[in-house]
Amino acid sequence: MTDDLQTLQSETDAALAAAADPRALDAVRVAVLGKSGRLTALLKELGRASPEERRERGAALNRLKDALTAAIEARRGELDAAALGARLAAERMDMTLPPRPRAQGLIHPISRTMEEMAAIFGAMGFAIAEGPDIEDDWRNFGALNIPAHHPARQDMDTFYLPGIDADGRSRVLRTHTSPVQVRTMLNQEPPIRVIVPGRTYRADHDATHSPMFHQVEGLVIDRAITLGHLKGCLIDFLRAFFGITTLPVRFRSSYFPFTEPSMEVDIGWNRKTGELGGGGDWLEILGSGMVHPKVLANCGIDPREWQGFAFGMGIERVTMLKHGIPDLRPFYESDIRWLRHYGFNPLAPAMLHEGV
Amino acid sequence: MKFTLSWLKTHLETTASLSEITDALTMIGLELEGVENRGAALAPFRVAHVIEAVQHPNADRLRACTVDTGAGLVSVVCGAPNARTGMKAVFAPPGSFIPGTGITLKVGEIRGVQSAGMLLSVREMGLGEEHDGILELSPEAPVGVPYAAWAGLDDPVIDIAVTPNRGDALSVRGVARDLAAAGLGTLLPFAPAPVPAEFESPFGWAIAMQDACPWVLGRTITGLKNGPSPQWLQDRLLAIGLRPINALVDVTNFFTIDLGRPLHVFDAGKISGTTLTFRPGDGETFKALNGKDYTATPDDCVIADAAGVQSLAGVIGGEATGCDAATTSVFVECALFNPVRVALTGRRHQVASDARSRFERGIDPALLPDAIEAATRMIQHLCGGQASTVAAAGAEPHWRRTASLRFERLAGLGGLDVAPDEVVGALERLGFTVAGRDAERVVVQVPSWRNDIAAGTPLEPSATLPAERAAKAAAGRAEIEPECDLIEEVLRLGGLDRIPPVSLPAGGAVPAATLTPRQARASVARRTLAAQGLAECVTFSFMEGARAALFGGTSEALRLANPIAADLDQMRPTPLATLALAAARNAARGHAEVGLFEIGPAYPAIDRQVQVAAGLRAGPPARHWAAPATPATAMDAKADVWTVLAALGVPMDALTVTADAPAHYHPGRSGCVRQGPKTVLATFGELHPRVLAALDLAGPAIGFEIDLDAVADPKRRRKTAPDLPSFQPLRRDFAFLVDAGVAADAVLRAARGAERTLIAGVSLFDLYQGDGLPEGKKSLAIEVVFQPRERTLTDAEIEAACQKVVAAVAKATGAALRG
């Protein structure tokens, strides 16, 4: 490279190094590569050289042009990076600031339990049946083999509404979900396999009783359903619901007007610690039995052809046991602190394949 | 039902332990409520004789005693001032736990004298507060025997819950019979020998209310001496919580518990006339044995003498003819009453007596002759006297009936194969007698005390059943019910744990949907609302009437006849009402900012219950450095409604909002969401300031109610192919000046409808009212998206489309394009 070219390169390099912003950089570029730039001028002079000289100097000039162009772009990159760096530095924020709150909604524990019941019983082929909270006394009592004078009617402190309905019957707030058994048997031909979660009402209000609470009823009617199936179904449910595959379950004889034979169901727990599964104590958890022939007949089902079982369980009770919730009353008080503590994530609903 | 172990053993010969008995009771359906066993803690303590008590050589206040424990002589140092030579006392050996001090004894040396045990005070045994010194026993107390046994404190009291069907088990004998049948021993015979009559009874019966009292026996006993009953009888009654009164009354209480056979004794000297009549009440008032006055109604069966009503039959006796210490002759009543009448009378007059609880469950109709003999004998034994003939009225009712059981049904219904011999044996132990048997079945006579077996009580069939179907079902019931009764007996005695559990047979490999579309709607709405940041509540279905009225709930038909509290008397018209109360409660606790929802019933009318998703947002939002603390507005309520309805698959374009929301909303800031002219899907808005003030809720608060029952089931349709044009959409902005009363929705709809094929979307991006605009006008700025489909639009085409938008909006709303 001739001296003049070398000088041009070194002077340009120095100018580029001195260019502190894109405009200064552009000025350097124009001064070298612009229309009247120094390199452009040298290229123009090439025509006057001999062909021999022209080839050699032309090649040198082109090499220099490439080198200078690259140097300019490299410097431009440096300047851009520096500018971006300065901007980013200026944009720095305190990342320890609290983010904008997004309200977290929750599912009530009672709903959660009902969902879990639907999932588990659903896997056993049950559908969900429903009925109104305001019932007539025939569906709530009479059809279920609880005649007017029956002592069981005194055990259930019934809420009454004034007046009578079109059929001349008293209106009550249902004391159990069992009237839906009657509705289902009257509306549907067997075989039947339903659960009935819902609101129930009894005139009782203290630390362990609420005038409104929730039950789930179960009803299975088929040709060859036995007490063995009742036991199997409830053991399967209780073990799945509480997530304890070895949960001890005990059945003992009892009485309900609408079942025969009737039985109470206990699960094993530790009375001292409240832990379920072991401990040698028994905790009464639900009532059940084979559907009484009178109940079947009251609903037009011939007990010679059809038989089955029914059960009823307190939803709050099993919810309290499963989650260790000590008190009943806060379930209905809507204390936002309680709801936040015991509520469930709506986007993690009860699904068997994710685990209930 | 309470009884003591020793009482039970007067009917049951058994070697079973207390825990074996109580476990069996629970398993056979006589559920154990509790066992009170005062003797257990006293088990190590024995009666001892203080051979010598001398001054301790090294301590002024102590005595060194030599004690005969029955198992040898021991040295005991005792600090009690009353410890003296020759006394009988209670001795606790080393190793025993002292209930009153919580200490387990060890052999020790106290100031140089060995002490190998302790002489106990009442308080140290945990039997009372007395601590003046050690308990001094009577000189006759036998040395070496367990103190608790000697003092009668070792008799455990067993308390069981008797189910309403088992009147027979409200007696010690009935319990003993069940235990014997379950294999825990042998039922001892009960066959009281007749007491010879020494004279004709001067008193007799008349029954003028046959259905209430089918049969009664009576007996006069004269020349007796009433007084306190003997200690054993007092002890038994006291142990189960009954107060001893006098021998005659205690005898009746004894048989009530022992045989489940309530009796009554009239003081014969106080009866007017010679006939006691069972008849309907006639408004007479009498004083009962509990000291209260009762007025008999024509539905009550009373027992009356010449002076008037003396007893509510089967429920409670009267004071005027009651027995006291001065009684020298009695007329014993042993009657049978109609259980329903007794139950109704008891309930009507709110008397809960031991007699009532047995009569209303039904007592053994064949027991009367034996019972009156046993009672007569016991009265004579305790009080002396001479017995008359038995005066009777009515007759033993027909109770004999049979029940039949096919052996295969034990497995067919009960799920357990039981050998026929075992089946028959169990029934026989319960008192059934075999009337016939072959390989398939057994027919048994039902014992008189089991009124729950093959009872044949009336059906209450549905009135809507076709006659033929009802008759067939009734015939089936008549055949099957007695068999079920017997199956239950056999299974319960053997223990239901014997029945092998069987999982339900699957209906198919994959079950069908568990929820109906309506139920699934509630689930989706629940998750959607929770995902909007609202916390789900479950509130009561009833509330205070005055507050329900704020939300339109004033129906008398929906007011409870017997509310549990004055503030829980009206069925709620909407869950929004109880949510508002919940918000107020939270605010009162210092948590004013809440977002709540509930999916539950509303009771708009007596025959209508609606599933409503209601929500409420109240309170000033918490301040935040990056978000303005703006309270929720009616538009937030609308957004909640929109989100839910969209999640439920409602066609959102078809919805309209009208300004006729219910009165609990702000009249100018609320709306009804309608699908078509008739269907109201939801209401929403700011709550009315009057409502907020009445509930002490600082406003503003917004609410919404979505009628989930009004939402149509989703149609299962395949979706059409999506519209994905390849040309870029064009966006044009328009600002319209309209009257302030023009609905924004009208502008948006008019714009959207101006050129259906070309306009893909219209959105409102600015709303302005105020300075720079004429009075009564507002400016609405919208963006219209034009979507070319076949080719790029020309400027002229775009201009034409814009003109159509301006013209359509102007025509629909009177709007003018702002320059």
Task: Report the relative pairing of strands B2-4 and B157-161 from DSSP bridges.
Answer: antiparallel
Instruction: Scan residues 376-435 of B and list those with Cβ closer than 8 Å to A.
Output: 411-416
Coil, helix or strand at residue B247: helix
Minimum distance, in Å, between the CA of residue A139 and any CA atom of chain B: 9
Q: Report yes or no on A47 lying in a domain.
A: yes
> What pLDDT, on the 0 to 100 scale, is given for residue B293?
95
Q: What percent of chain A has pLDDT over 90?
A: 76
Instruction: Scan residues 760-799 of B and list those with Cβ closer than 8 Å to A.
Output: none
d(CA A128, CA A197): 8
Residue of B nearest to A195 (CA): B514
Residues B562, A159: C-beta atoms closer than 8 Å: yes
Residues A76 and A135 in one domain: no
Of A59, A90, A121, the domain-final residue: A90
Q: What percent of chain A has pLDDT over 70?
A: 98
As a whole number, the mean pLDDT across chain B is: 93
Q: What percent of chain B has pLDDT over 90?
A: 79
Mean pLDDT, residues B677-696? 95
Of A56, A90, A124, the domain-final residue: A90
Q: Report yes or no on A350 lying in a domain.
A: no
pLDDT tier, A356 (very low <50, low <70, confident <90, very high otherwise): confident
pLDDT tier, B21 (very low <50, low <70, confident <90, very high otherwise): very high
Residues A86 and A142 in one domain: no
Residue A1 has pLDDT above 70, yes or no: no
> What pLDDT, on the 0 to 100 scale, is given for residue B733?
96
Q: Report yes or no on A183 lying in a domain.
A: yes
How many domains does chain A divide into?
Answer: 2
> What pLDDT, on the 0 to 100 scale, is given for residue A154?
62
pLDDT tier, A152 (very low <50, low <70, confident <90, very high otherwise): low
pLDDT tier, B351 (very low <50, low <70, confident <90, very high otherwise): very high
Contact list, A254 vs chain B (CB under 8 Å): 29, 31, 163
Compute the residue count for chain A. Answer: 356
Which one is predicted more confidently, A221 or B155? Answer: A221
Asked if residues B263 and B255 have their Cβ atoms less than 8 Å apart, the reply is: yes
d(CA B27, CA B14): 18
Mean pLDDT, residues B85-89? 92
> What pLDDT, on the 0 to 100 scale, is given for residue B164?
86
Give the residue from B423, B535, B607, B385 showing the smallest Cα distance to A166.
B607
Contact list, B339 vs chain A (CB under 8 Å): 149
> What pLDDT, on the 0 to 100 scale, is given for residue B799?
94
Minimum distance, in Å, between the CA of residue B553 and any CA atom of chain A: 15
A265-294: per-residue pLDDT in tens? 999 999 998 899 988 899 999 999 999 999
Residue A155 has pLDDT above 70, yes or no: no
d(CA B37, CA A65): 112
Coil, helix or strand at residue A102: coil
Minimum distance, in Å, between the CA of residue B310 and any CA atom of chain A: 25
A292 and B CB contact within 8 Å: yes
Residues A311 and A192 in one domain: yes
Mean pLDDT, residues B222-251? 91
Residues A118 and A238 in one domain: yes
Residues A72 and A114 in one domain: no
Per-residue CA distances from A204 to B127, B653, B678 (Å): 36, 49, 42
Taking the mean position of all CA atoms in its chain, how far away is CA A350? Answer: 7
Compute the count of residue pairs across chains A and B with CB atoms less than 8 Å apart.
325
Residues A107, B523: C-beta atoms closer than 8 Å: no
Residues A193 and A243 in one domain: yes
B523 and A CB contact within 8 Å: yes
pLDDT tier, B642 (very low <50, low <70, confident <90, very high otherwise): very high
Mean pLDDT, residues B786-803? 92
Residues A26 and A170 in one domain: no
The position carrying tokens 């049969």 is B215
Q: Report yes or no on A209 lying in a domain.
A: yes
**Domain range for A46:** 3-90
Residue A156 has pLDDT above 60, yes or no: no
Residues B560, A128: C-beta atoms closer than 8 Å: no
Residues A14 and A151 in one domain: no
d(CA B657, CA B704): 13
Residues A78 and A116 in one domain: no
Mean pLDDT, residues B239-252? 92
Residues A173 and A263 in one domain: yes
Give the residue from B565, B512, B518, B517 showing the smallest Cα distance to B542.
B565
Coil, helix or strand at residue B323: coil
ipTM of the complex: 0.89
> What pLDDT, on the 0 to 100 scale, is given for residue A163?
85
Residue B93 has pLDDT above 80, yes or no: yes
Q: Report yes or no on A95 lying in a domain.
A: no
Mean pLDDT, residues B497-524? 92
Cα dihedral across residues A207, A212, A213, A219: positive or negative:
positive
Minimum distance, in Å, between the CA of residue A92 and any CA atom of chain B: 16
B656-680: per-residue pLDDT in tens? 999 999 999 999 999 999 999 899 9
Instruction: Scan residues 24-83 of A and list those with Cβ closer than 8 Å to B.
Output: none
Q: What percent of chain B has pLDDT over 70?
A: 100
Of A90, A118, A143, the domain-final residue: A90
d(CA B662, CA B685): 10
Residue B709 has pLDDT above 90, yes or no: yes
d(CA B432, CA B487): 13
Residue B541 has pLDDT above 70, yes or no: yes
d(CA B62, CA B372): 60
Q: Report yes or no on A347 lying in a domain.
A: no
d(CA B278, CA B296): 12
A16-63: per-residue pLDDT in tens? 999 999 999 999 999 999 998 888 988 888 888 888 888 888 888 899
Residue of A nearest to B622 (CA): A101
Residue B432 has pLDDT above 70, yes or no: yes
Mean pLDDT, residues B417-442? 96
> What pLDDT, on the 0 to 100 scale, is given for residue A151?
59
B299-316: per-residue pLDDT in tens? 999 999 999 999 999 999
Q: Report yes or no on A157 lying in a domain.
A: yes
Count CB-CB contacts under 10 A for residue B728. 9
Per-residue CA distances from B107 to B67, B464, B624 (Å): 14, 82, 73
Asked if residues B502 and A82 have their Cβ atoms less than 8 Å apart, the reply is: no
Instruction: Scan residues 100-119 of A and list those with Cβ closer than 8 Å to B.
Output: 100-108, 110-111, 115, 118-119
Residues A26 and A60 in one domain: yes
> What pLDDT, on the 0 to 100 scale, is given for residue B138?
86
Count CB-CB contacts under 10 A for residue B406. 14
Helix (H) or strand (E) holding B91: strand B88-92
d(CA A181, CA A143): 10
The HSE-up count of residue B550 (CA atoms within 13 Å, CB side) is: 22
d(CA B611, CA B603): 9
Query: Shortest CB distance from B499 goes to which of A102, A160, A227?
Result: A227
What residues have CB less than 8 Å from B319, skipping those under 6 apart?
A: B286, B287, B288, B289, B291
B577-635: per-residue pLDDT in tens? 999 999 999 999 999 999 999 999 999 999 999 999 999 999 888 888 988 888 899 99
Asked if residues B20 and B184 have their Cβ atoms less than 8 Å apart, the reply is: yes
Which pTM was predicted? 0.87
Q: Report yes or no on A232 lying in a domain.
A: yes
Residues A205, B565: C-beta atoms closer than 8 Å: yes
> What pLDDT, on the 0 to 100 scale, is given for residue B112?
85
> What pLDDT, on the 0 to 100 scale, is given for residue A269?
94
Asked if residues B45 and B127 have their Cβ atoms less than 8 Å apart, the reply is: no
Residues A122, B514: C-beta atoms closer than 8 Å: yes
Query: Which CATH number do you get for residue A223?
Result: 3.30.930.10
d(CA A258, CA A254): 12
Give the residue from A79, A97, A101, A88 showing the smallest Cα distance to A28.
A79
d(CA A155, CA B167): 16
> What pLDDT, on the 0 to 100 scale, is given for residue A278?
82
A343 and B CB contact within 8 Å: yes
pLDDT tier, B132 (very low <50, low <70, confident <90, very high otherwise): confident
d(CA B117, CA B140): 22
Residues B537, A339: C-beta atoms closer than 8 Å: yes
Residues A86 and A126 in one domain: no
